[in-house]
Amino acid sequence: MKQQVALWDVFEVELKGADLANPFSDASLSAVFSFGNRQVVAKGFYDGDSTWRIRFMPDTEGEWRFTTESNRPELNGREGSFICSPARPGLHGPVRVRNQFHFAHADGTPYFPFGTTCYAWTHQPLAMQEQTLETLRAARFNKIRMCVFPKHYIYNNNEPLMPMFEVGADGKEDFDRPNAAAFRHLDAQVSKLREMGVEADIILFHPYDRWGYCLMGEDRDTHYLRYIVARLSAYSNVWWSLANEYDFLIDVKPVEYWDRLFHVVEECDPNRHIKSIHNGNPNMNFDHRKPWVDHVCIQNWDVKRTATWRDTWGKPVINDEPEYEGNIPRPWGNISAQELVNRFWITVMRGGYAGHGETFMHPQDLLWWAKGGVLRGESWKRIAFLRDLLEQDVKRGLTPYTPANSRGEFNRISGAHDGDVRYLYFGEHQPREWAVGLPMEDGDYDIDLIDTWEMTITPLEKAPLPVSPPLRGHLGVVHNAGPEAAFGVRLHGKPWQAVRVRTRKS
């Protein structure tokens, strides 16, 4: 019986080769995978111990054939085939942009990013990495931002488990020779995340470095990119984040340089995993309109601007760092849980997606944002609650109410709709009655009051419209003219509330 590989799973060709002076650069290897007349090229890579591998993620059920190509006779012209069988339960395939501002898996399942950040979790002691995975299994995050390279930064002074390149006789890392063991470990962790339904938002470069990884030069950067894309592209849950805080490296890697690195990834990745790049300074966003940027990845605390960012770039907006819950002496890492939950709701209700992080001071510097481990905060449960709410009703993705498409109130409060569901989010506002944004047509609706902090859902009845505009006898220019809605609702007059309205199915 022919080898079977499930849809979006990893098919791997293993080849043994000759000893080479530098097996990483002295052998070129790829394979052409064919499905009928369709051909897809996947690059191979050296995995140490005279072993080369080619990984391939089939995206179509049926028979696939392949032939290898190499400048080394012992790796060249190998042929084979396999049957791509239906996807394993729970595997929905890589995430793609869908409906302009949103995402879905390849099988069409909507994907709403609710990610967290553990930059250097794969470089911590193995027991702590197990703990991180355990925490992720219990939480409801479905994406994690993580660096390939270890991190040198405040609260990040420990040495990584392994160097990312082989250490030469001189005791220095040889940037021409990736440490296959270190990368195998990364593969394994990405694979575990995939099994848990967590997208791995792989940060390819970052500026927090004492080892020299951010100053290798363009040839080695390109070499490294080809290597990691060959290793990881076949994992369906991979996203490429070209950099964290790319602008902090702008003196050595200018914008055109990042463009070229984007092109290298595009050229090597047969699966076209979605790609973006993350800024540091909120005024130094990348030009996300470039065609090689699939979605907007930013850090910005000013989340009421989310709908504007959608308009600016015309792509899905993920605000991966609307500041973190915590208490460290850095203002990006010390907002209250309530404020982070508020920023998640504002972001989502203005048509974007937000990212979580935790930066609580710890006697051993075990901060989730850097090292993973356990969650110590209060926001993650409320973020899970929001994710569950969305997955219950949203299909296409949320379209925000704005002053341009609705009423001026949506400059101050937030709201969004999709199909049969609409939400209003009041945040720091605490009305006791409300109407604006409720349906203009009377009908059969399920209306609920949502306490975003207490995580309660309470049915609401229709109530009379609170205020009748326009004002009778008003002589000044009448603003906010026209009826606000077909009916109103009565609320509790406290902050952090939302209202959900669903058209009742007959």
Tally the C-alpha atoms within 13 A of residue 71's C-alpha that lie toward its C-beta: 7
> Least separation, in Å, of the C-beta of 418 and a second copy?
22
| Beta carbon nearer to a second copy, 70 or 347 | 347
| Beta carbon nearer to a second copy, 364 or 506 | 364
| CA dihedral (91, 119, 379, 421) positive or negative | negative
> Least separation, in Å, of the C-beta of 473 and a second copy?
4
> Least separation, in Å, of the C-beta of 152 and a second copy?
6
> Least separation, in Å, of the C-beta of 284 and a second copy?
11
CA distance 112 to 302: 21
Name residue, tokens 């939400």.
423
Give every CB contact of residue 324 below 8 A, 6+ residues apart in sequence: 117, 332, 333, 334, 335, 340, 356, 357, 358, 359, 369
| Beta carbon nearer to a second copy, 48 or 439 | 439
> Least separation, in Å, of the C-beta of 83 and a second copy?
47
- Residues at the site binding a second copy, with contacts judged by CB under 8 A: 152-154, 206-212, 214-215, 248-252, 280-282, 301-302, 304, 323, 327-332, 334-336, 338-339, 361, 408-409, 411-413, 426, 428-436, 466-467, 469, 471-477, 479, 488, 493-495
Q: How far is CA 457 from CA 420, 451, 500, in A?
A: 18, 7, 9
Give every CB contact of residue 128 below 8 A, 6+ residues apart in sequence: 121, 366, 371, 372, 373
| Beta carbon nearer to a second copy, 289 or 432 | 432
Structure token digits, residue 126: 């193995």
CA distance 423 to 409: 14
> Least separation, in Å, of the C-beta of 408 and a second copy?
7
CA distance 505 to 325: 39
| Beta carbon nearer to a second copy, 92 or 253 | 253
487, 438 contact by CB (below 8 A):
yes
Coil, strand or helix at 6: strand
| Beta carbon nearer to a second copy, 156 or 399 | 156
Q: What is the arrangement of strands in the sheet containing 275-276, beginning at the earlier edge strand?
A: 115-117, 143-147, 199-205, 238-243, 275-276
Phi/psi of residue 399, nearest 5 degrees: -105, 125
Q: How far is CA 217 from CA 151, 170, 251, in A?
A: 19, 20, 13
| Beta carbon nearer to a second copy, 388 or 454 | 454
Give every CB contact of residue 475 below 8 A, 6+ residues apart in sequence: none
> Least separation, in Å, of the C-beta of 51 and a second copy?
32
> Least separation, in Å, of the C-beta of 172 and a second copy?
14
> Least separation, in Å, of the C-beta of 212 and a second copy?
6
| Beta carbon nearer to a second copy, 5 or 216 | 216
200, 235 contact by CB (below 8 A):
yes
| Beta carbon nearer to a second copy, 412 or 504 | 412
Give every CB contact of residue 256 below 8 A, 6+ residues apart in sequence: none
| Beta carbon nearer to a second copy, 188 or 467 | 467
Phi/psi of residue 435, nearest 5 degrees: -145, -45
> Least separation, in Å, of the C-beta of 278 and a second copy?
14
> Least separation, in Å, of the C-beta of 249 and a second copy?
6
326, 335 contact by CB (below 8 A):
yes
Structure token digits, residue 1: 């019986």
| Beta carbon nearer to a second copy, 43 or 151 | 151
Name residue, tokens 């990881």.
232
